[in-house]
Amino acid sequence: MNFTKNFGNDGEILAKKFLENRGLEILATNFHSKDGEVDLICRDGSKILFVEVKARRSSKFGSAIESVTDSKIDKIVAAGEKFLLDNSLENFDWRVDVITIEDGTLKWIKGI
């Protein structure tokens, strides 16, 4: 069993519940395209959110947000745009958010 993958999956479940509790509609989880992947795709009113979830037990080897590189953001955007096209949502405004979970604290970083 892969403990690290399970920890990451638990982080995504926690982030999903966090967003649902704030009234967001979860449209997709772990959406993959040939260009990238998005952990959570949500609708917040008239806006679509592409959410990257990063869970860390500690910041000993760098913070969770530091692992979200420009290259990673480009892949999230590419996959997100594919989702929008596939679901006839291309006229919606969208943004990329990150949810970090580290040292027992969840943070929602909007519009990175």
Return the CATH number at 21. Answer: 3.40.1350.10
Spatial contact of 50 and 76, defined as CB atoms under 8 Å apart: yes
What pLDDT does residue 67 have? 87
Each residue's pLDDT tens digit, 42-87: 999 999 999 999 998 766 677 888 889 999 999 999 999 999 999 9
Structural domain for 97, as ranges:
3-109
Rounded to an integer, what is the distance from CA 65 to the centroid of its chain? Answer: 12
The domain total for the chain is 1
Closest CA to 52 of 64, 40, 60: 40
